[in-house]
Structure 1
C-alpha cells in the first residue's frame, strides 16, 4: 500500500486517541480563555472601572476575532511550514498567550489591563482558529461531528477546572484571597493565571507533537489546500453580475452559511452580555456586595466561578451525547433545543436570589454551550469545499464577532439609559437573545451544498470592479 493510500486510510479511520490528541490543545486554550472570561470584568472593577464601561473595555475580544481569525484562516490555507499548515499558528499563539496570562493579573492600572487583554485575545485567536480547521482537514465528513464534539468536551473540561481555580486555591490550599484594607487583585487570581499559562502552553505542545498534518501531495484532491488546486472546478467569477463585492460574495458563500448568520448573530449578541456581566451580577445581586475590596465581593466572584465551572461540566457531559442525539433527530433540531434551553435558563435568573438555585439555570446554559461550540461548525463543514475550509472558518467567525462588537459598543448605552446600570438585567437580555436565535434555527437547511472558490479569478474580478 502506498504512503498516500495509507494516510488517507488513517484519516478515514481516526481512532479515539487520534481525536484526543488533535483536540487536546483546545483544553489549554479554553483554560486560558475561561480565566480571562471569569476574572477580567472583576479585574477591571478592581482597577476602578464602572459597570457601564465594562462592555467597551471588552472590545478587544470581538475586534481581535474579527481581523485575526479570517487572516489566520487565509494564511494557514496557503502556507506550509516544517511543523505543518495549522500547527505553527497554534503554537505561536500559545507562546504569546502564556506570556500575556502571566502579566494580566499584575496590571498596575486600568489601561494596562486593557492593553494586555488586547494582546491576550489576539494571541488566543491565533491559536484557536486553526484548531477548527484542523479537525475538518484531518477527518472525513462522517467523523466531523464527532471531532467537534471532542473539541466541545475539552472546551468544557478546560473551563470546569479553570473557573474553579481561584476558589480551590482559597478554600482548599488556603492561599490568602484579599486584603480588605486595600483594593487589589487577589493573590488567588494571580496564581490561577500563572497556572493557566503553564497549562495553555503544555497542552498545545502536546497536540503539535502528536498530531500529523498532511502535505498536499499526501491528500486526495478534495482535501488539498487552496494554494495548490485553486483552479479545480471553480465558480466562473466572470459570469457573475457587476453589482459589486457583495454580489460576488452572495454567489460564492453557500446558502447554508448565510442561513446560519442570524442564528450566530443573536447567539453571540446574547452570549457577550451574559459572559461579561455574569460574575459581577453574582457578586452584587446574589451576595449583595457593594465594594470591590469586600469579602462578599470576592466570595461572589468565586461563586460565579463555581457556576461557570458547573455549566461547563454540563457542557462536558452533554458533549458525549450530541453525536447520538443528532443522529436520532438532526443537527438542526438539536441546535434549536440547545438554544431554547440556554435562553430559558438565563432568563429565569431574574427570579432567583439563592446562590444554590442559580445552579439550575446553569444546567440549561451548559446544554446550550455544548451545542453552540459544536453543531454550527459541523453544519458549516458540511456546506463548504474542504480546500477552502480555513478561510471559510475565518469568514464564519466574522458572524460571531460582529454581534459582540455591536454589543460592546451599544450595551454601555443600554445599561445607562434602559437598564439603570443593572447588570442582572443585562444578563437576562442576553437570555432573550438566545431565544431569538433558536427561532432562526428553523430556517437552516442542513444539506450538503457548496461551491469551490477560484481565488485568482475572484481577485481579478474584484480588482476590476474597484
Structure 2
C-alpha cells in the first residue's frame, strides 16, 4: 500500500457514527449536571470546583488511552477496544447519575462518567487520522461534528421535550425531576448502540501497515528531553509561589488546584529530563516536550476556546434562570422553566453544528483553515457577549447560532490543522496530548471562575458567559499565528472497499 485509499461517503459515515452516541451522553452531562448539583444542595459559587473532575479526568485519561491504543492490536482492532470499554462504562454512569443520593456521590459519578467518555472519545480522533488519507481528513472531522450536533441537539432538548409530553419537571427538595431521569436513561441506550454500530461496521488498518506506508520510526522512538528541566523548573517555581501566596493571603481554596497543577507538571518535566526509565509515563511526557511546532501554536487557540466553553457549560443554566427568569430557587417553577430553556439553548447551538459542519468545508475552500476558524470563533464570541445586553430570553436563540458555528469549528478545524503534522505511529498519544490544551483551560476556569463570580460579578453568572465570549475572540486572533498546512498532493481517488479487518 503506497497510498492510503479513499473511503466512500458511507464508510466515513459509519466510522464516525459512534460520535452520535458519545455526544448524546456528553450533552446530557453538560446540560444537566450543574442542575443536579444544585438540586442536591450545591451553592452556585461552588459548582466550578465540583466540575473539576471532568477536565482533570481528561488530562490523565486521554494521553494514557492514546498511548495504549497506539500499541494495541488484537481481534477487535487498535482503537475499537477502547470504544467498547468506554461506551459500556459511560452507559452505566448515565443510568446511575440522576439517582445519586448525595452531592458527593454525584460528583464521583461525574468523574467516572467523564473518564469513560474520554476512553471512547480520544481514540475516535486518532481513528480518523488512521483510516483516512490526508485529503479526506477534513471531511472525516466535519462528519464527526455533524454527528456531535445531531446527538447533542436531541439530548440537550430532551428534558424540555419530555416536559411538553407531560413528564414531571419539578421534584421535591433534593430530588431530580423525572424529565432529567428519563433523558439520562435514553442517553445510555443511544450511546451504547451508536458506538456498537461503528465497531461492527468499521475495520482498521494494522499499525505496522500504517507505519510502513509513512516510512516512520516505531511509536516508542526516543525523544531528547535533556533540557526539559528548564521549563520544569519555571513551572515548579510558579506553582510553589502560588501555593505559598494562597496560604499567606487566605485566597480561595479553588486556587490550590491551579498551584498544585503547575507544581506537578514542573516536577514531571524535571523528572523526564533525568530519568532513565522507558515506561509509558516517560514516553508520554517526552512526546509532550517534543511535540511539533504547529501543535504548540494551536495550543493557545485551544486554551482560549475551551476556557470559554467551560464557562458556558457550567453557568448557562444558572445565568438564564437568574437573569431571564428571575429565580435561583431550584424547587421553584420559574427556576426549572429557566433551566429547561437553558437546555433548549444548548440544543440550538448543537443543532446549528449540523448545517455549520456542512458549510465549513465550503468556508475552508474559499478562505482557508485559519480565516475560517477565526470567523467562526468571533461569531461565537459575539453570541456569548450578547447575553449581557439582551433582555428577552427568546432572543438568546440568535446568540446561540453564533456559538453553534464556533462549536462546529472547534470540533473540526484545529484537528484538520494538526493531523497532517503528526506521525502515524504516534497519532493516538499526540491526539491525547492535544487534549491537555483543552483540559488545562478548564482547570483554570474551575480554579478562578468561582472567585471571579464572588468578587467581581456580584453573584451573577451571566458575566461569566461574557468573559467566555471575550475569550473566544482572543482564540480567533491566536489562530492567525498558526501556519496553514500545504494542500494534500494526493489526487482524488475512487472509493474502494474498506481497509483489512483483523477479525
* Fold match (TM-score > 0.5): yes
Aligned partner of 2:312 in structure 1 is: 274
Match of 2:438 among 396, 400, 403: 400
Aligned partner of 1:314 in structure 2 is: 352
Match of 2:78 among 66, 75, 85: 85
1:56 aligns with 2:49: yes
Instruction: Summarize the alignment of residues 248-263 of structure 1 with structure 2, pairs less than 5 Å apart.
Output: 252-263=290-301
Instruction: Summarize the alignment of residues 8-19 of structure 1 with structure 2, pairs less than 5 Å apart.
Output: 12-19=5-12
Task: Find the residue that maps to 2:28 and give its secondary structure.
Answer: helix
- Cα 1:259–1:170, aligned 2, differ >3 Å: closer, same or farther? same
Match of 1:175 among 167, 179, 198: 167
The alignment yields a C-alpha RMSD, in angstroms, of 2.1
Contact 2:318 2:328 in 1 (8 A): no
- Cα 1:354–1:146, aligned 2, differ >3 Å: closer, same or farther? same
Aligned partner of 1:339 in structure 2 is: 377
Task: Find the residue that maps to 1:149 and give its secondary structure.
Answer: helix
Distance 1:99 1:225 in 2: 40
Aligned partner of 1:285 in structure 2 is: 323
- CA deviations on 1:61-100 (whole Å, 9 max, x unpaired) are 1100100000000010011121001000111000000000
Aligned partner of 1:195 in structure 2 is: 186
Match of 2:400 among 354, 358, 362: 362
Distance 2:407 2:183 in 1: 23
Match of 1:166 among 142, 156, 159: 159
Instruction: Summarize the alignment of residues 47-126 of structure 1 with structure 2, pairs less than 5 Å apart.
Output: 47-126=40-119
1:186 aligns with 2:177: yes
Contact 2:86 2:117 in 1 (8 A): yes
- CA deviations on 1:298-347 (whole Å, 9 max, x unpaired) are 11111111111111111111101111211111100011001111011110
Match of 1:374 among 389, 394, 412: 412
Q: Shift in Å at residue 427 of structure 1?
A: 1.1
Q: Shift in Å at residue 217 of structure 1?
A: 4.8
Q: Shift in Å at residue 249 of structure 1?
A: 6.1
Contact 1:216 1:224 in 2 (8 A): no
Q: Shift in Å at residue 183 of structure 1?
A: 4.3
- CA deviations on 1:404-460 (whole Å, 9 max, x unpaired) are 0011112111111111121111111111111111111111112369xxxxxxxxxxx
Q: Shift in Å at residue 12 of structure 1?
A: 2.1
- Cα 1:114–1:241, aligned 2, differ >3 Å: closer, same or farther? closer
Instruction: Summarize the alignment of residues 441-460 of structure 1 with structure 2, pairs less than 5 Å apart.
Output: 441-447=479-485
Contact 2:211 2:424 in 1 (8 A): no
Contact 1:256 1:446 in 2 (8 A): no
Distance 1:341 1:229 in 2: 39
Q: Shift in Å at residue 222 of structure 1?
A: 3.9
Q: How many pairs does the alignment contain? A: 435
Contact 1:222 1:387 in 2 (8 A): no
Instruction: Summarize the alignment of residues 193-232 of structure 1 with structure 2, pairs less than 5 Å apart.
Output: 193-219=184-210, 221-222=212-213, 228=218
Distance 2:227 2:23 in 1: 43
Distance 2:302 2:58 in 1: 14
Contact 1:225 1:388 in 2 (8 A): no
Aligned partner of 1:424 in structure 2 is: 462
Contact 2:210 2:424 in 1 (8 A): no
Aligned partner of 1:157 in structure 2 is: 150
Distance 1:275 1:251 in 2: 31
1:299 aligns with 2:299: no
Aligned partner of 2:233 in structure 1 is: none
TM-score (norm 1): 0.89
Distance 1:218 1:355 in 2: 54
Aligned partner of 1:130 in structure 2 is: 123
Contact 2:287 2:430 in 1 (8 A): no
Task: Find the residue that maps to 2:443 and give its secondary structure.
Answer: helix
Contact 2:288 2:433 in 1 (8 A): no
Task: Find the residue that maps to 2:480 and give its secondary structure.
Answer: helix
Task: Find the residue that maps to 1:275 and give its secondary structure.
Answer: helix
Task: Find the residue that maps to 2:405 and give its secondary structure.
Answer: helix
Distance 1:176 1:15 in 2: 45
- CA deviations on 1:269-308 (whole Å, 9 max, x unpaired) are 1111111100121112111123111111111111111111
TM-score (norm 2): 0.83
- Cα 1:220–1:110, aligned 2, differ >3 Å: closer, same or farther? closer
Q: Shift in Å at residue 145 of structure 1?
A: 0.4
Task: Find the residue that maps to 1:419 and give its secondary structure.
Answer: coil
Q: Shift in Å at residue 251 of structure 1?
A: 7.3
Distance 1:229 1:205 in 2: 28
Q: Shift in Å at residue 223 of structure 1?
A: 5.0
Q: Shift in Å at residue 219 of structure 1?
A: 3.7
Contact 1:77 1:225 in 2 (8 A): no
